[in-house]
Structure 1
Amino acid sequence: MNREARHMEREHTGELQAVYITNNGSIENGRLLIGLKNVFSKCLPNMPKEYICRLIFERRHKSVVIVRNGSQVIGGITYRTFPGTPAARLGEIAFCAVAQTLQVTGCGTRLMNWTKHYAREMDGLEYFLTYADNNAVGYFSKQSFTKTVTQEKDKWFGFIKDYDGGTLMECRIHPTLPYASFPEMLAKQRAALEGEVKRYTTGHVVHPGLPHWKEGGGPMPVGDIPGVVEAGWSHAAGMLYKEYQIAMNGQILDPTEDNLFEFMTMLLKKAQKHADAGPFQRPVSAMDVPDYYSIIIDPMDLGTMEERLNSRRYYITLNMFAADFYKMVKNCQLYNGATNPYFLAAKRIYEVFWSVMRSSILPNLEAAGIVEPKL
């Protein structure tokens, strides 16, 4: 939608223009139809040029073209109408193309929306049908075409051309949607919705950064962070304060700051002493593994975890501690692959880590709000 909005801005400046044309004998329409024929010939190489010319110049066919700088045709759609028949409210799209350099810029969507607008306003159409080849099914699907034809068969069968190997697709042209100003309509609706949301929430309020840690502060109570209480947080609902206990050294302990520090220290030492821990004791050397840091952008190792733990400021919850341990093992998997000996070693340490966590947290991890990531 943002890409189409940019094309609308170009329309407002006059750089782009959407024009509805027929072969009415005028020099200007003839010039635009020749330009459209050139676009179709380049973008649809399997279509004979004679066939393209016959259809776009045939008077029952209408075309909508996107013109750049008043002269250059950069895309268009040609469709046929059936006035005075049971298919009078139906249009059959024969050709649809935009210049190859513009096929991922939103120009195709803008073109289709203009075509729906003109088909409804100029020709009174309510439906489009088209046979799409395999390369075009995706595009038409994005433009609200479906493979389900809802119209009664006698209203279209025998009127539109039947192509072997194509997929018949249908699109209903809404009677009131402002196709030509669709992005503007959505922008106004979004602004109105956001305005209503702001009346009942504070999510749009931005608080300044906290100087707490710059000034050497330790763990900060969640309730002291500006905006947290206003957003509806309460002490009872805070994940940091889930009620649980720790089984350690033959005792059942509350998760105080000191007890958490001792428990995490015990877990870390157990990991460091594991038989497979050698490669994970310190950061990976860029000299030994030159491409490591181009692949792993957020490295972790047991030595770094020990520094963070000993600062007594970083790991204020078990979830934060466990997340770094998971990161170390996941990085190993990402760089080496799931069958590499290094990852298998890291996985064995990881299994011991979580075995101790599961047996030490009471009543259980889920009740304590502690997440066990799966590899």
Structure 2
Amino acid sequence: AIGYFKKQGFTKEITLDKKVWMGYIKDYEGGTIMQCSMLPRIRYLEMGRMLLKQKECVQAKIRAYSKSHNIHAPPKEWKNGITEINPLDIPAIRASGWSPDMDELARQPRHGPNYNQLLHLLNDLQNHNSAWPFLVPVNRDDVADYYDVIKEPMDLSTMESKLEADQYLTPEDFIKDAKLVFDNCRKYNNESTPYAKSANKLEKYMWQQIKAIPEWSHLEPER
């Protein structure tokens, strides 16, 4: 759900004074508090009509300077049908520096073949009720010796950044970082703590999700 609310303008950075909301809203362990700032001058219920009016005003201004809205008859050269030409024969295209390779690059997928499934898995992990200790990096100010003990820190937000940067070429690369999150937690925290228990629950959930993907069945850990 966090990813959905981010798209709607919500953020995890809470700037609203705690005394305004603390004790008035349901705040439970494992939940993620999010905030959406709203501008008093904006009438959100009239947003659709307002945007339509703005669009009409912008288009009216454009028409005052542009002739693009005028419709012309097709050129006489098209009378006998359209013939294929080399785009580079058009001076403006040639001057722009365009090349056929650019079209080929534009058609290539933005992310690797595993991106969508890994993103879905990561979102499932982030939204799990045991994910709360692992959503962001451990705060050095809160846990002074953490980075003395844990030499390879990892968290779900860092994994999200790496996924968007296409640093996970294979599912194995993703799982390696996920296991690092859980192993680090168990290394630093006693097994009886809520943190270690959350790591065990979230790791178990991760393997359940992986097991549900047939082409990833070989990734299951040996028992």
Q: TM-score, normalised by structure 2?
A: 0.48
What TM-score does the superposition give when structure 1 sets the normalisation length? 0.29
Q: Which has the higher helix share?
A: 2
The structure that is strand-richer by fraction is 1
Question: Does 1 or 2 have the higher relative contact order (CA < 8 Å, sep 6+)?
Answer: 2
